[in-house]
Structure 1
Amino acid sequence: MASSKHFHLLQDFQSYNPDTLDLSQDAEAKDYWFQCFNRLVLKFEQQAAKSQGSDPTAFNRAAQFREHFVNQLKILQQQNSHSNPLAIRNLLELNEASLRLYGFDDPWKEQKRLENEASLKRLKYRLQRIDLLKDTNAKWMEIIKGVLAGNMFDWGAQAVSQILESDTNFGLDEAMERIQKRPWLIDCLDEWLQRIQGPPHTCATIFTDNSGTDIVLGILPLVRELLKRKTKVLLCANTKPALNDITYGELKHLVKQCCMECKIISYAYNTGMLQIFGNEQNGPCLDFRLITPDLSDAIWESDLLIIVGMARALHTNLNAKFTCETLKLAVVKNEWLARRLGGETFSVICKYENI
């Protein structure tokens, strides 16, 4: 249900449409994405069964999940109504709902825990490496590239999961080499670097994406640099699990652990300069119509909005307009979508909008 107070930072709440593609109006896109999800469901089934391997019913329930999901996809694909928009967001939400229907609330929970723990061990080194860069532009280029490279660690993207499964040593440095070299597909980095030379923002709201390398080595160094500029930071994560995205509860626990690794993060968290919120989404995408009144009120003072990840900043909100400065960061981890946008797999979206 939409917030009764609406989301304050949208330029026009009434005309807001989060979805970049309407599959009901785009036959090529509809055909591709339904084929894509029919392939991905096998990966989701395997992960679901694996996540509850000690339960003798897990294998059968995972198979039931797959059958249900495939049947629901068939129903949606056969619908020819142009009056009912259909988006990638809906298919992703259907996946999560179908998993929960058969008792798989969070199939990636253990994977996320392991990746968070491994990334925490590298956090101090990452922060030290950034601190060695004394030039402001060089430092912020490293931070933004770190956010983008961290966004590669998405188990829901087939192109990435194949890399992660075949190369256990694939880390942030390797991801930095894999993503597109500049100029990027959408490249507003220079505009952002020029802005960051100006006065600090009052409050930045960041909508996070994946666990592990993404949040720990990508997002948290960004958070820390904003805090050093005396900018208040609101970190928002999904309340419910979705793929390997970090959840609100996991993020709270993780930040408390990070407080032991970084005095700046610790001080900010304990004084309220760094706050954590759940964003009430039903999947990995981001629909600002679902933002609760409490979160909308908390974000009211924000003069910088940062949206991270393919689901939140590309499948949804790429074209959305806001009343404050906005930075949308994502790596295009799908070959078809990259080509549709005029790029290649692992192209970069760095879209800065200063109203």
Structure 2
Amino acid sequence: MPLLCQLTDPDGYRISDWNIAADPRDRDYWISLFDTFPNHIQTQIVRDGLDGDHFPARWSAFQREYESGMRLIRDKVERTGTLSTIELVRYRQMLLKKFDFPDPYRAIKRRENTAAARLYPQVIQRIDELPLEKRWPALFLGLLAGNMFDLGAPKTIDLFKRGQTDFFATLERIADQSWFIDHSAVLIDRLTNSSPWRQILFFVDNAGSDIVLGVLPLAREMARAGARVILAANAEPALNDITYPELNCLLDKLRNQDPQLADLLATDRLATVDTGNDTPLLDCTIITDACNTVAAASDLIVLEGMGRAIESNWHVPLKCDCWRIALLKDEAVVRWLGARLWQPVSRFDPA
């Protein structure tokens, strides 16, 4: 598959320049996080009925090969002093697929999509009742609140397990946070007063409250403001990220609750595309032709979530405008940035 056509320097593209082995704290943190991954999902797989035939044998074989591969990764780090998060996530995805556990979060995503869909009418009603000057800031905060549903970061995994990821409670907490980077005023000006974008390619992140209560209300408003908005989702599963097929299924259900959403979809002012990716990061070297066709006609690209906006592509310049928005939920990420946990990031880079 081709590279993303909007890269300023395609030959020099690197998914990330963060060497997580450079700081011993980061190295130990990330390796420990991936070392313990099988322990976190085994019970979940069985509970959700995703174990399938011959589960004990497959799981034992998966664990043995996973542990062996992690030892090789640690040895490589000792030899070279280099490691990236994309190496770790690709290794994890490869082993899950090999032993027929391609989507261990499938049932969780389905439950969270259903729960968020019940709140969707209430959220868009609140948004639609706001005057325009308050609507955009509320949508940005809603996007950040929804992004709390993240099963890749230990802090948010713990909150999810304790039932502390309520969307409206999170919205209130985020409203009081100081922002690490806040270019929201520039974005709001472009969306309301000056030169709006013709087409927006929006790389989405998680299922559940993230896509339903965060992304969709914002994308809906962007489309109502005159832009064509294309939501770009992973081709294949990765953690609790929503996939392209799941996104289309979800939109088919939500359009029945929201006539304006239904109209935007029917008139192609809101659409979807498959990115070709299968990790929680965004690798711009494996973009589908369909996604590249959309990218070529877009004058704004949105990178949502830590994985796509910060852990990958943080220093990657684009030929079009780019908006990176995420909630900082991981202690290693905030240490690398020099930020604090739970700070929002809203960074706008013009073409």
TM bracket (short chain): over 0.9
Number of aligned residue pairs: 350
Aligned-residue offset at 1:227: 1.0
Tell me if structure 1 keeps the 8 A contact 2:274–2:290.
Answer: no
Counterpart for residue 149 of structure 2:
153
The alignment status of 1:185 with 2:172, answered yes or no, reads no
Give the Cα–Cα distance (whole angstroms) in 2 for the partners of residues 26 and 339 of structure 1: 10
Give the Cα–Cα distance (whole angstroms) in 1 for the partners of residues 95 and 285 of structure 2: 23
What SS class does the counterpart of residue 339 from structure 2 fall into? coil
Map residues 137-286 of structure 1 onto 2, 5 A cutoff. Answer: 138-167=134-163, 170-179=165-174, 181-196=176-191, 197-286=193-282
Tell me if structure 2 keeps the 8 A contact 1:52–1:58.
Answer: no
Q: 2:123 aligns with which of 126, 130, 138?
A: 126
Counterpart of 1:210 in structure 2: which amino acid?
N
Tell me if structure 1 keeps the 8 A contact 2:220–2:261.
Answer: yes
Aligned-residue offset at 1:83: 7.4
Q: Per-residue CA shift, 1:261-306, capped at 9, x if unaligned? A: 2222211211222221111113111011111233212221101111
Counterpart for residue 110 of structure 2:
113
Map residues 52-67 of structure 1 onto 2, 5 A cutoff. Answer: 52=49, 55=52, 57-67=54-64
What is the RMSD of the two structures over their aligned residues, measured on CA atoms? 2.1
Counterpart for residue 30 of structure 1:
27
TM-score normalised over the length of structure 1? 0.92
Q: Which runs of 5+ in 1 are unaligned?
A: none
Counterpart of 2:241 in structure 1: which amino acid?
D
Tell me if structure 1 keeps the 8 A contact 2:136–2:188.
Answer: yes
Give the Cα–Cα distance (whole angstroms) in 2 for the partners of residues 237 and 36 of structure 1: 25
Q: 1:45 aligns with which of 42, 45, 54?
A: 42
Tell me if structure 2 keeps the 8 A contact 1:25–1:82.
Answer: no
Tell me if structure 2 keeps the 8 A contact 1:48–1:62.
Answer: no
Give the Cα–Cα distance (whole angstroms) in 2 for the partners of residues 55 and 288 of structure 1: 34
Q: 1:341 aligns with which of 316, 337, 342?
A: 337
Give the Cα–Cα distance (whole angstroms) in 2 for the partners of residues 217 and 183 of structure 1: 22
What SS class does the counterpart of residue 329 from structure 1 fall into? strand
Counterpart for residue 18 of structure 2:
21
TM-score normalised over the length of structure 2? 0.93
Give the Cα–Cα distance (whole angstroms) in 1 for the partners of residues 132 and 269 of structure 2: 25
Give the Cα–Cα distance (whole angstroms) in 1 for the partners of residues 339 and 176 of structure 2: 12
The alignment status of 1:12 with 2:9, answered yes or no, reads yes
The alignment status of 1:293 with 2:293, answered yes or no, reads no
Counterpart of 1:193 in structure 2: which amino acid?
I
Tell me if structure 2 keeps the 8 A contact 1:204–1:302.
Answer: yes
Q: Which runs of 5+ in 2 are unaligned?
A: none
Q: 2:346 aligns with which of 335, 341, 350?
A: 350
Deviates more, 1:207-216 or 1:25-34: 25-34
Aligned-residue offset at 1:319: 1.3
What SS class does the counterpart of residue 121 from structure 1 fall into? helix
Q: Per-residue CA shift, 1:48-107, capped at 9, x if unaligned? A: 333436646324433432332222121012115887963102211211211111111211
Give the Cα–Cα distance (whole angstroms) in 2 for the partners of residues 52 and 64 of structure 1: 19
Return closer, same or farther for 1:45/1:63 CA change in 2, 3 Å cut-off: farther
Q: Per-residue CA shift, 1:136-179, capped at 9, x if unaligned? A: 2x2111101111111110122221121121126x3211222344
